[in-house]
Amino acid sequence: MAGSLSRESIVAVTRELIKREGLESVSLRRIAGLLGVTAPALYAHVNDKRDLLRAVAEGEFERLIDLLERVDDPDPLARIRQFSRAYIEHAVSNPGLFRTMFLFPPRLSVADATGQELPAATKAFEIAHDAAVEAVDQGLLRSDDPLLVALTLWTGVHGAAEVLLLGFGFDQDTTAALIDSLIETLIAGLRR
């Protein structure tokens, strides 16, 4: 494997390890062993473990962006509903990868920059934010601050994803009802 060692192969192996065993399973030594190289060989392609996790998170946000960009409903509330479901589904189907994503926040205008912001995280948030802006502009949601609307929706949906990842073992019907109830309650609370 050493001859074909690349940043992409290192990130791919790391992603699969996180998917199989969780975020806590990642170490450069472990990744190197899976690739059949020594840990120092990785440093020609990644700066450190954080750089590696950032690359995995970037790829996962790109996957989420792809899901969000497939939603093309002209109704912003319908898009918000679909975005919310896609977000939760992505989280539940990839728990370790979902947790990796949020080691790196989006850049938000209301928050101080930390230097850890991830452009793909920002893009994913902006897609959802744009639907919130459109809903406010159309008078479907009440607010003088569409960013606050987007943050409120994201906070609720992210919270639902985290609850579902706690492993309560809800059946499909209960899970679907919880998701629908949350989304409709958030929208109802923000309606004019």
Residue 73: pLDDT over 90: yes
Enter the tokens of residue 55. 């690359």
**In the chain, ranges of CATH 1.10.357.10 domains:** 57-190
CATH number of the domain at 2-46, out of 3.40.50.300, 1.10.10.10, 1.10.10.60, 1.20.1250.20? 1.10.10.60
Residue 99: pLDDT over 90: yes
Q: What is the mean pLDDT of residues 40-44?
A: 95
- Global confidence as pTM: 0.90
Q: What is the mean pLDDT of residues 78-83?
A: 98
Give the class (CATH, top level) of 57-190.
mainly alpha
Task: Kindly report, residue by residue over 153-175, the tens digit of the pLDDT.
Answer: 999 999 999 999 998 889 999 99
Distance, in Å, from the CA atom of 23 to the CA atom of 21, rounded to the nearest integer, reads 7
Question: What rounded mean pLDDT belongs to the chain?
Answer: 94
Q: For tokens 């902006």, what's the residue?
A: 126
Name the packing angle between helices 119-137 and 146-164 (round to 10°).
120
Q: Which stretches of 70-171 are DSSP H helices?
A: 76-93, 95-101, 119-137, 146-164
Nearest CA-CA partner of 6 in 41, 39, 58, 56: 41
**In the chain, ranges of CATH 1.10.10.60 domains:** 2-46
pLDDT at residue 167, rounded to an integer: 86
The answer to whether 28 and 39 have CB atoms below 8 angstroms apart is: yes
pLDDT at residue 143, rounded to an integer: 87
Confidence band of 192 (pLDDT split at 50, 70, 90): low
Distance, in Å, from the CA atom of 129 to the CA atom of 49, rounded to the nearest integer, reads 31
